[in-house]
């Protein structure tokens, strides 16, 4: 279980990194961020790049900064940094919950925010958080910079809309509107495992009625998904058990073709989507003010 | 053979400057190139946690890092814990609480616990479990490891006070 | 020289044992904690090469051709091995049942995914893995069979064509008047059960370094080897060598639990070394190899079982039909796991008649092997579910129903229908203690409240026997031969009084070197730190099996104390001569030899040893001047099996009762263990701390078995759980605090009254958890019969109940 041979480059600037990308066959290059998903694939020889381009030495790709609209998180910022950030914990609690649910401490120490986003594992927490927050992804290429909205970013299993030759540099995370309640639920075989299914929910309650409800699922499809049909059931409805039941049924109907594997059948995942979205939304309702 | 690439880092307080095969994992480098065989390898895909070491003081799976990525970093392994013939408080605590049986996973646990206790000598049960939960032990059932962490925390807390 | 080995702590030559019976720190720990213990992958030999093995991706295929030219040409590659070499140089492995062994590498047909097809020795593991990718194999896929019931059909593909059938064994054993007790029964409870494949997964996989000596045709094999002498015999058989030409040097290893495996890899590296002109070849099995083709898969079982209960609620009969899916071959010895239940077939109960309808079936899965407990854990899972059902049928509390069926303490030694004899026990006391510890009445009251709130809370009470000190005769029904498993030790005292004990097994985790140190310390009045335990290779060691079958603690105690007694007898003669008294007057106590009736006439053990070794002028002429002795211990009174497989086999019967509280999430099927309490009785506890460690670890493995661990295959026999992402070991989050209480009923038959306890709680834990889950599910009117009780299975059951 040793990696196949490859060349290695560790550029110091984004320009240098883009330059190296420009000089190589893009199908043969793997960008390495924290490596917590890529290294197992290399060790198992399931990934066989001829060049590993290590982003760990590129300047300016890590750190958190808050602006009026929200957070700007460098793509190479480790999860540990978010976990340890009082700002994230107090002002972006849903992001913090999503962070600490990822794997275990050693994985979060090295794994990066950008790495998880680009890996786009359908059962991982961060892509779901991206949809919950309407995050924006800043990518650079030799042609310049472009911004991709979260809803356009995750394409399918392990695939994003980042083009070969582009590098994710920053994730912009808007603040949730004041009064937004949030909930986070996931079910894994063991604590820290990839989720079988997980759900994030946000909602505001205005004049006793639900407003802008949002439901995001992970582990329920080929990518993290929002469930508009479920959200529609709640818009303008009272935050009640009855509303949650209606919403849960709509989520169940909307999750059409979940994955089936050794840990969970498709029917089980579908039902978990119902159960966990209700639990997450129930938490969100109780937190909404 | 991959390309040989240079790497310079600190390992257990000593400068290491050499050429490595670009594809070599840090675990293999420490064990087979530097002879630091106290770090063991359990799964090589980042799940079991047995190969945990400290990189700049933070617990890291050494099977999920390339040797060349140690460049510029400070690496600590189990060999750095004891001081001559004096065991580290974490090692003493493991011995006192029977926190090990076969001992194969123990270095990984101790390094992760070192990361925890160097930052917090009064961790809660949940904080301890969060750290231990990232690793498997097949012998002990964890009860004695939990006790060892609490014992070590007390030792390190009183030493620091 | 016949020696009498102390059966109680009082018989040790110590006024008060200072070390035996106490949970002292382990002598092995300092080296382990500092990373200095040499595990096999830490070892580097001059000129050493590294092996990588190409494995079959097909469960069943004919190999039409293998092209190794490109691999051989790769710089760094020294040798490439294929089936052709293997046919030339080796024989098929021994197996149980006999005749179901295969070569270490596929020679024409592959029979399971992961079967070796070719192998490379190269200058590094990296290069070796590069090289196996350059070996090109043409496979002609054949139809595979993954289900043992399909495999028994006459139109099934044959796993081993020469056998003409996939049925390895099909026999019914009748012990007592089974038909009679079933026809007389007030209640018969019958059910089908499924226990899925799972297994050991020690944190260290198998590894070895083989050296073939071309001149004298001998082998030196270093490795993480649990049973070195058996391993040497196995290699000798593979290569047609006398066993003394195979020297096995076992290294300390990272656990084993029976599932270290490694025979195929060892044979392959031996032959690669032969091809590489005797250069040492190392193979470290990686985790994915271990999970797909290692020694870890055990107990793939389909049961139909029944108990017969009389009008008083006494269980009179047990009828067990087992279809055991052994996998592709019998050479990993999974079959002995089906035989071992004979040693405790009827558990802790007075069941008088039993039937075992046993079918061992070959499929195109990995050959199954041993795992901690060796087979009874699934058997007790089945028995305990039936006990619970019978108790419910009669409206009796499960703990009281068990109590009235227990073998009483005045009935020991007690012979069970399947032939084994239990040495001693106090089952009622064990039950009392755990009910007290768990506050069982309160637990039940809380359960009532929880049920009123609609929560699925359940309490499980399960009881089982751990047969201890294994004997080959227990496995006679699957073809294993022999009675007795000798274990030897050599104790020597040097001229300065230092004690060295030489044993034939490596460190594995159970703390046996500490135990050895405790024993000689109390015997000769020294401290454990002054005792050196040295491990010998198989060419140097006295007869030794090593750890396994809950045996070594008892056996090594017998061997060490026997050797100590022999030295004591020699020293007494020396002292008697020096003190000019009769040997009968000389006594050893607390490290000093004294003369009865002569106060102050004393010699310390080091003084006597020094005299023996350095003052021959003072010795009587007929005395052996070596303060050294070897003793080989084997259990007394074992018997040859009769035609129904009945024998006195395992020497001891430890007993436990576990009480578990769980809650099942009715929406998700997830199980949370809320409390875990147990009481157990394994006789005298020689080191209570290490005994508790074995118990804790075994509970954890039992939790894994009950809730998490499963080797899944698809219908084409492709493995689906090939990494630690899918084969799930319990972590600290899944193992709760384990509350324990001990009862001590010494064995009348063993050294110091100790019983085998290494396999321990896994005999009881899965049964207890499954009883608790089914208790939780009662209000829904459904019961689970499948292990592990994974959330998807429980969810489905709950859905069915609610629809």
Please report the beta strands in C198-313, taking only residues with DSSP state E, as ranges in sequence order: 207-213, 218-223, 246-250, 281-284, 301-309
Three-class SS of residue B101?
Answer: coil
Residue C192 is predicted with a pLDDT of 98
Residue C2 is predicted with a pLDDT of 79
Q: What is the mean pLDDT of residues A63-92?
A: 96
Residue C606 is predicted with a pLDDT of 96
**Nearest-CB residue to B138 (from C39, C201, C689):** C201
Q: Measure the CA–CA gap between C371 and C276, rounded to whole angstroms.
A: 35
- A155 and A194 belong to one structural domain: no
Longest dimension (CA), chain C: 93
Dihedral, A41, A42, A45, A46 alpha carbons, nearest 10: 30
CATH of the domain at A16: 3.30.43.10
Average pLDDT taken over every residue of chain C? 97
Q: Are C747 and C357 in contact (CB under 8 A)?
A: no
Q: Which residue has the tokens 């293999």?
A: B28
First to last CA, chain A: 53
Q: Show the tokens assigned to A108.
A: 């979060």
Q: Are B67 and B33 in contact (CB under 8 A)?
A: yes
Q: Are B141 and C741 in contact (CB under 8 A)?
A: no
Q: In Å, how far from its chain's centre is CA C403?
A: 29
- Whether pLDDT at C196 is above 90: yes
For C548-563, what is each residue's pLDDT tens digit?
999 999 999 999 999 9
For A241-288, what is each residue's pLDDT tens digit?
999 999 999 999 999 889 999 999 999 999 999 999 999 999 999 999
Q: What is the mean pLDDT of residues A6-28?
A: 96
Q: Measure the CA–CA gap between C250 and C535, rounded to whole angstroms.
A: 9
- Shortest alpha-carbon distance between residue C660 and chain A (Å): 20
Residue A163 is predicted with a pLDDT of 95
Residue C285 Cα distances to C412, C477, C498, angstroms: 46, 32, 39
Asked whether the beta carbons of residue A190 and residue C728 sit closer than 8 angstroms, the reply is yes
Three-class SS of residue B4?
Answer: strand
Strands C218-223 and C246-250: parallel
Residue B16 Cα distances to B4, B25, B31, B71, B72, angstroms: 15, 16, 14, 10, 10
In chain B, the domains with their CATH numbers are 4-80 (3.10.20.30), 89-160 (1.10.150.120)
Q: Measure the CA–CA gap between A269 and C557, rounded to whole angstroms.
A: 54
Choose the final residue of a domain: A141, A174, A207.
Answer: A174
Query: Looking at the complex, does the CB of residue C690 fall below 8 Å from at least one CB of chain B?
Result: yes
Asked whether the beta carbons of residue A194 and residue C126 sit closer than 8 angstroms, the reply is no
Residue C236's DSSP bridge partners are none
For C97-117, what is each residue's pLDDT tens digit?
999 999 999 999 999 999 999
- A34 and A111 belong to one structural domain: no
- A170 and A79 belong to one structural domain: yes
Q: Are C710 and C196 in contact (CB under 8 A)?
A: yes
For C307-321, what is each residue's pLDDT tens digit?
999 999 999 999 999
Asked whether the beta carbons of residue A4 and residue C130 sit closer than 8 angstroms, the reply is yes
First to last CA, chain C: 74
- Whether pLDDT at C803 is above 90: no
Domain assignment of residue A136, given as a range: 64-174
- A47 and A84 belong to one structural domain: no
Please give the CATH topology (third level) of the domain spanning C9-37+486-633.
Aldehyde Oxidoreductase; domain 4 (3.30.365)
- Shortest alpha-carbon distance between residue B122 and chain A (Å): 17
Give percent of chain C with pLDDT exceeding 70.
Answer: 100
Residue C561 is predicted with a pLDDT of 98
Choose the final residue of a domain: A174, A204, A237.
Answer: A174
CATH of the domain at A146: 3.30.465.10
Residue C463: Cβ-neighbour burial (10 angstroms; 0-12, 13-18, 19+): buried
Give the domain ranges of chain C: 9-37+486-633, 41-142+213-253+261-278, 376-470+650-802
Please report which confidence band the pLDDT of residue C620 belongs to, taking 50, 70 and 90 as the band edges. confident
**Domain C9-37+486-633 shares a fold with domain C41-142+213-253+261-278:** no
Asked whether the beta carbons of residue B129 and residue C26 sit closer than 8 angstroms, the reply is no
Residue C646 Cα distances to A114, C339, C344, C352, C421, angstroms: 65, 11, 11, 14, 10
Q: How many residues does chain B have?
A: 161
- Whether pLDDT at A92 is above 90: yes
Give percent of chain A with pLDDT exceeding 90.
Answer: 97
Residue A218 Cα distances to A99, C663, C664, angstroms: 14, 26, 23
Residue C359's DSSP bridge partners are C170, C323
- Whether pLDDT at A125 is above 50: yes
* Residues of B in Cβ contact (< 8 Å) with C288: 45
Residue B1 is predicted with a pLDDT of 45
Side-chain-side CA neighbours of residue A35 (13 Å):
27
Q: In Å, how far from its chain's centre is CA B62?
A: 9
Architecture of domain C41-142+213-253+261-278: Alpha-Beta Complex (3.90)
Please report the beta strands in A46-166, taking only residues with DSSP state E, as ranges in sequence order: 51-54, 64-67, 70-74, 136-141, 144-149, 154-156, 159-160
Asked whether the beta carbons of residue B39 and residue C35 sit closer than 8 angstroms, the reply is yes
Asked whether the beta carbons of residue B133 and residue C731 sit closer than 8 angstroms, the reply is yes
- A234 and A268 belong to one structural domain: yes
The residue of B6, B22, B68, B115 whose CB has the most chain A CBs within 10 angstroms, and thus the best one to mutate to test that interface, is B22
For A194-211, what is each residue's pLDDT tens digit?
999 999 999 999 999 999
Asked whether the beta carbons of residue C795 and residue A268 sit closer than 8 angstroms, the reply is yes
- Shortest alpha-carbon distance between residue B97 and chain A (Å): 24
Which among C287, C693, C297, C695 has a CA at the least distance from the CA of B50?
Answer: C287
First to last CA, chain B: 52
Domain covering C376-470+650-802 assigned CATH 3.40.605.10 in the classification:
no
- Shortest alpha-carbon distance between residue C711 and chain A (Å): 10
Q: Which residue of C has its CA nearest to A264?
A: C792
Q: Are C679 and C430 in contact (CB under 8 A)?
A: yes
Q: Where are the alpha helices (DSSP H) in C580-630?
A: 605-614
The per-residue b/e assignment along C202-219, b for 16 or more CB within 10 angstroms, e otherwise, is: bbbbbbbbbbbeeeeebb
- A112 and A192 belong to one structural domain: no
Residue A59 lies in a domain: no
- A47 and A68 belong to one structural domain: no
Residue B159 is predicted with a pLDDT of 72
- Whether pLDDT at B117 is above 90: yes
Q: Measure the CA–CA gap between C18 and C40, rounded to whole angstroms.
A: 35
Number of helices and strands in chain B (H, E):
5, 5
Residue A124 is predicted with a pLDDT of 96
- A226 and A276 belong to one structural domain: yes
- A164 and A248 belong to one structural domain: no
Q: Which residue of B has its CA nearest to C204?
A: B42
DSSP C331-391: TT-THHHHHGGGGGTTTTB---EEEEEEEEE--SSPPP---TTSSHHHHHHHHHHHHHHHH
For C638-683, what is each residue's pLDDT tens digit?
999 999 999 999 999 999 999 999 999 999 999 999 999 999 999 9
Choose the final residue of a domain: A142, A174, A206.
Answer: A174
Residue B161 is predicted with a pLDDT of 47
Q: Which residue has the tokens 């913090």?
A: A96
Strands A167-174 and A70-74: antiparallel
Query: Looking at the complex, does the CB of residue B149 fall below 8 Å from at least one CB of chain C?
Result: no
Q: Are A273 and A200 in contact (CB under 8 A)?
A: no
Q: Are B95 and B125 in contact (CB under 8 A)?
A: no
* Residues of A in Cβ contact (< 8 Å) with C733: 190-192
DSSP class of residue C653 equals: E
Q: Are A32 and A54 in contact (CB under 8 A)?
A: yes
- Whether pLDDT at A181 is above 90: yes
Q: Measure the CA–CA gap between A57 and A11, rounded to whole angstroms.
A: 6
Q: Which residue has the tokens 């269980």?
A: C315
- A78 and A24 belong to one structural domain: no
**Nearest-CB residue to B1 (from A5, A8, A103):** A5
For C692-703, what is each residue's pLDDT tens digit?
999 999 999 999
Residue A1 lies in a domain: no
Strands A181-187 and C531-535: unpaired
- Whether pLDDT at C225 is above 80: yes
- A170 and A70 belong to one structural domain: yes
Residue C464 phi/psi, 5° resolution? -150, 170
- A124 and A185 belong to one structural domain: no
Q: Which residue of C has its CA nearest to B89?
A: C33
- Looking at the structure of chain A, the number of domains it has is 3
Tell me the count of B-C CB pairs closer than 8 A. Answer: 171
DSSP C59-88: SSEEEEEEE-HHHHHSTTEEEEEEHHHHHH
């Amino acid at each position: 279980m040793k990696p196949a041979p490859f060349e290695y480059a560790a550029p110091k600037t984004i320009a240098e990194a883009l330059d190296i990308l420009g000089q190589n066959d893009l199908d043969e290059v793997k960008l390495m961020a924290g490596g917590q998903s890529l290294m197992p694939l290399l060790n198992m020889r399931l990934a066989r790049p001829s060049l590993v381009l290590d982003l760990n030495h590129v300047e300016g790709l890590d750190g958190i900064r808050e602006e009026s609209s929200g957070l700007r998180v460098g793509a190479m910022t480790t999860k540990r940094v978010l976990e340890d950030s009082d700002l994230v914990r107090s002002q972006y609690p849903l992001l913090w919950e999503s962070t600490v649910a990822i794997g275990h401490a050693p994985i979060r120490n090295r794994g990066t925010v950008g790495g998880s986003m680009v890996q786009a594992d359908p059962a991982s927490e961060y892509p779901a958080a991206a949809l919950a927050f309407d995050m924006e992804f800043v990518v650079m290429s030799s042609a310049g910079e472009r911004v991709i909205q979260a809803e356009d970013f995750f394409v399918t299993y392990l695939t994003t809309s980042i083009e070969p030759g582009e590098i994710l540099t920053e994730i912009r995370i808007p603040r949730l509107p004041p009064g937004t309640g949030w909930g986070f639920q996931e079910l894994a075989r063991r604590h820290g495992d990839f989720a079988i299914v997980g759900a994030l929910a946000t909602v505001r309650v205005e004049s006793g009625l639900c407003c802008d409800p949002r439901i995001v699922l992970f582990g329920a499809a080929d990518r993290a998904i929002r469930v508009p049909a479920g959200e529609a059931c709640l818009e303008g409805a009272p935050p009640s058990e009855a509303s949650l039941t209606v919403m849960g049924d709509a989520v169940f109907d909307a999750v059409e073709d979940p994955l089936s594997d050794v840990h969970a059948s498709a029917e089980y995942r579908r039902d978990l989507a119902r159960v966990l979205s209700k639990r997450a939304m129930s938490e969100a309702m109780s937190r909404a003010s | 053979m991959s390309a040989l690439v240079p790497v310079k880092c600190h390992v257990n307080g000593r400068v290491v400057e050499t050429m490595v095969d670009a594809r070599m994992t840090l675990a293999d480098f420490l064990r087979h190139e530097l002879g630091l065989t106290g770090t063991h390898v359990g799964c090589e895909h980042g799940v079991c946690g047995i190969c945990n070491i400290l990189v700049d003081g933070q617990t890291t799976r050494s099977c999920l890092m390339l040797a060349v990525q140690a460049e510029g970093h400070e690496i600590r392994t189990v060999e750095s814990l004891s001081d001559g013939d004096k065991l580290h408080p974490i090692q003493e605590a493991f011995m006192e609480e029977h926190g090990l049986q076969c001992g194969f996973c123990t270095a990984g646990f101790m390094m992760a616990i070192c990361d925890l206790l160097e930052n917090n000598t009064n961790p809660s049960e949940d904080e301890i479990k969060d750290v231990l939960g990232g690793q498997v032990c097949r012998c002990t059932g964890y009860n004695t490891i939990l006790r060892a962490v609490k014992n070590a925390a007390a030792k390190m807390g009183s030493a620091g006070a | 020289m016949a020696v009498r080995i102390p059966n109680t702590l009082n018989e040790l030559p110590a006024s008060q044992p200072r070390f035996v019976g106490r949970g002292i720190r382990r002598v092995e720990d300092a080296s382990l904690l500092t990373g200095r213990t040499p595990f096999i992958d830490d070892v580097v030999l001059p000129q050493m090469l590294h092996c990588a093995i190409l494995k079959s991706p097909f469960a069943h295929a004919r190999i039409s051709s293998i092209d190794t030219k490109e691999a051989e040409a790769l710089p760094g590659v020294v040798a490439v091995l294929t089936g052709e070499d293997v046919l030339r140089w080796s024989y098929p492995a021994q197996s149980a049942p006999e005749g179901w062994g295969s070569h270490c590498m596929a020679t024409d047909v592959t029979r399971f995914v992961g079967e070796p097809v070719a192998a490379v020795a190269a200058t590094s593991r990296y290069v070796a893995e590069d090289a196996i990718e350059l070996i090109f194999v043409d496979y002609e896929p054949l139809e595979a069979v993954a289900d043992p019931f399909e495999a028994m059909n006459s139109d099934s593909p044959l796993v081993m064509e020469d056998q003409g059938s996939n049925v390895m064994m099909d026999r019914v054993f009748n012990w007592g008047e089974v038909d009679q007790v079933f026809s007389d029964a007030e209640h018969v409870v019958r059910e089908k059960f499924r226990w899925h494949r799972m297994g050991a997964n020690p944190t260290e996989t198998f590894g070895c370094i083989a050296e073939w000596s071309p001149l004298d045709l001998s082998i030196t094999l270093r490795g993480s080897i649990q049973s070195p002498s058996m391993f040497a015999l196995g290699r000798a058989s593979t290569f047609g060598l006398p066993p003394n030409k195979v020297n096995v040097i076992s290294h300390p290893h990272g656990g084993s639990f029976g599932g270290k495996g490694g025979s195929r890899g060892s044979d392959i590296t031996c032959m690669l070394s032969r091809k590489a002109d005797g250069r040492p070849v190392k193979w470290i099995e990686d985790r994915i190899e271990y999970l797909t083709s290692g020694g870890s898969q055990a107990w793939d079982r389909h049961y139909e079982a029944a108990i017969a209960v009389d009008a008083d609620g006494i269980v009179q009969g047990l009828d067990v039909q087992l279809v055991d899916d052994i996998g592709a071959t019998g050479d990993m010895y999974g079959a002995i796991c089906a035989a071992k239940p004979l040693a405790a077939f009827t558990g802790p109960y007075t069941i008088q008649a039993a039937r075992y309808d046993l079918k061992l079936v070959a499929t195109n899965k990995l050959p199954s092997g041993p795992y901690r407990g060796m087979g009874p854990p699934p058997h007790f899972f089945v028995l305990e579910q039936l006990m619970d059902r019978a108790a419910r049928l009669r409206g009796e509390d499960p703990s009281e129903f068990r109590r009235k069926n227990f073998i009483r303490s005045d009935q020991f030694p007690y012979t069970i229908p399947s032939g084994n004899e239990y040495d001693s026990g106090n089952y009622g006391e064990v039950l009392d203690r755990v009910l007290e510890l768990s506050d069982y009445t309160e637990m039940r009251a809380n359960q009532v409240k929880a049920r009123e709130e609609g929560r699925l809370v359940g309490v499980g009470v399960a009881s089982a026997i751990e047969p201890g000190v294994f004997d080959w005769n227990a496995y006679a029904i699957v073809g294993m031969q022999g009675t007795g498993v000798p274990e030897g030790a050599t104790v020597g005292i040097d001229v300065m009084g230092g004690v060295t004990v030489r044993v034939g097994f490596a460190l594995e985790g159970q703390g046996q070197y500490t135990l050895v140190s405790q024993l000689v310390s109390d015997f000769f009045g020294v401290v454990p730190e002054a005792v050196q335990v040295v491990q010998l290779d198989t060419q140097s060691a006295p007869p030794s099996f090593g750890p396994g079958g809950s045996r070594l603690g008892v056996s090594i105690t017998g061997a060490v104390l026997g050797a100590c007694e022999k030295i004591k007898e020699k020293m007494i003669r020396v002292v008697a001569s020096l003190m000019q008294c009769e040997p009968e007057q000389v006594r050893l106590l607390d490290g000093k030899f004294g003369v009865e009736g002569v106060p102050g006439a004393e010699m310390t053990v080091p003084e006597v040893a020094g005299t023996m070794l350095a003052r021959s002028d003072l010795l009587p002429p007929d005395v052996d001047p070596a303060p050294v002795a070897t003793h080989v211990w084997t259990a007394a009174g074992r018997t040859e099996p009769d035609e129904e497989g009945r024998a006195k086999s395992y020497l001891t019967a430890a007993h436990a009762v576990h009480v578990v509280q769980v809650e099942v999430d009715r929406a998700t099927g997830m199980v949370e263990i809320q409390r875990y309490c147990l009481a157990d009785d394994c006789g005298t506890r020689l080191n209570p701390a290490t005994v508790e460690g074995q118990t804790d670890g075994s509970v954890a493995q039992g939790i894994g078995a009950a809730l998490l661990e499963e080797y899944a295959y698809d219908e084409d026999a492709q493995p689906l759980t090939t990494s630690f992402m899918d084969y799930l070991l319990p972590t600290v989050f899944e193992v709760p605090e384990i509350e324990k209480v001990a009862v001590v009923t010494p064995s009348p038959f063993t050294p110091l009254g100790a019983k085998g306890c290494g396999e321990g709680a896994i005999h009881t834990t899965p049964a207890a958890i499954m009883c608790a889950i089914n208790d939780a599910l009662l209000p829904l009117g459904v019961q689970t019969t499948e292990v592990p009780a994974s959330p998807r299975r429980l969810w489905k059951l709950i859905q069915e109940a609610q629809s």
